[in-house]
Amino acid sequence: MQNQIAQLIEDIKVSYAGFGPLTDVRKKMIEEFNENITYTVGKKYIKICHRGGCVWGFVVNTDADKKFLKGDILKAAGWASPARNSARGNIITGDYSVSWTGPHYLK
């Protein structure tokens, strides 16, 4: 799952880099964004953060969840918990759409 998390983070970085014109200031912003995107692995979820603590979203990190599959992407409900209403894709299957601002809603 490490490779899938790395790919998800790369997709988030690509989304941020494609937002706005590429000026010198923007290049610096992209560099700072890329340096400050992190993740924390917990028992149930992997929390993805950017900009020094803003929660981007969560990835389910267990096979024991009654509603979601391992690898499902969830929006953040708050700092410590995901919104458990609907999965926004799955990093294991590669079936997801994301932006630097967070997971997209599914159609």
Each residue of 82-97: pLDDT tens digit?
A: 999 999 999 999 999 9
Q: What's the mean pLDDT when you consider all of the chain?
A: 93
Q: Tell me the average pLDDT across 31-60.
A: 93
Count of domains in the chain? 1
Asked whether the beta carbons of 74 and 58 are under 8 A apart, the reply is yes
Confidence of residue 106 (pLDDT cuts 50, 70, 90): low
Region class of 89: left (phi > 0), else alpha (psi between -120 and 50), else beta: left
Confidence of residue 21 (pLDDT cuts 50, 70, 90): confident
pLDDT at 107 over 70: no
Give the residue, 28 or 107, on which the prediction is more confident.
28
d(Cα 30, Cα 16) in Å, to the nearest integer?
7
Phi and psi at 60, nearest 5°, equal -65, 130
**Helices (runs of H) and strands (runs of E) counted in the chain:** 2, 8
Q: Residue 22 belongs to what domain range?
A: 2-103
This prediction's pTM:
0.91
Tell me the two tokens of residue 85: 């209403």
Q: Tell me the average pLDDT across 50-79.
A: 94
